[in-house]
Amino acid sequence: MPDLQQLKRIIEAVLMAVGRPLSLQHIAELFDAEERPTTGDIQDALNAIGQDCEGRGYELKVVASGYRLQVSEDLAPWVGRLWEEKPQRYSRAMLETLALIAYRQPITRGDIEDIRGVAVSSQIIKTMLEREWVRVVGHKDVPGRPAMYATTRKFLDYFNLRNLDELPSLAEITDLDTLNGELELHTGEFAADDSKSEADQADVDPDAAVATEAEADTDTEIESNGGDVYDQDYPPETNF
């Protein structure tokens, strides 16, 4: 089994190369059985890597799917200048819909419309499904059986969260410009023009194939929560 210093070097190299979060289990599986470090050893190495990152231009971040190395968020204004095009902003309709799903999940499109007081563009829902930020977790036991939406592990990863408990309070995100800034730290690929109708503010990547809501329907369901139907395979949030 490698010593702590070598284990640190291996894990750091892997995290830099992979470009996505890795769980403790995934890291352990990189080693042959006879040299595989314990979970405690891996955790110690990760803690040491995190300490080494302090004061540097990158940091070790723990998100829902595991650990990843990323550019320190406070350096985003400078790093962003590497790309010629300025990140575009999400529409208010998109942000409000995503926020309602995050804080009121599971929630139906009709529930969102009742709260916002305006119709929700189908394209907004489809875009969030395609981005894998939300998914259908079941169907409400009312006429029409509308789909119920909840956020995904990919949503948590994107927003640097380990679990839903780390969501900021509603008071902290009353200014949607703050949320837009958070999004721009990542890709900021969608544009919005507030002068357009909500249907025109659907925030769709024109080059991506849009997944339909039907494709997101669940195959296996269980009855719970007063008759509402939930997807049995919806993954629980995990702390690391």
Domain ranges of the chain: 4-75, 92-231
What's the whole-model pTM score? 0.60
Q: Judge whether 4-75 and 92-231 match in fold.
A: yes
Please tell me the predicted confidence (pLDDT) of residue 17: 92
* 79-107 per-position pLDDT tens digit: 888 876 665 567 888 888 998 999 999 99
Q: How would CATH label the architecture of 92-231?
A: Orthogonal Bundle (1.10)
Please tell me the predicted confidence (pLDDT) of residue 200: 39
* 188-218 per-position pLDDT tens digit: 333 333 333 344 344 433 333 333 333 333 3
Backbone φ, ψ for residue 121 (5° rounding) = -60, 135
Q: How would CATH label the architecture of 4-75?
A: Orthogonal Bundle (1.10)
Q: Which residue has the higher pLDDT, 213 or 143?
A: 143
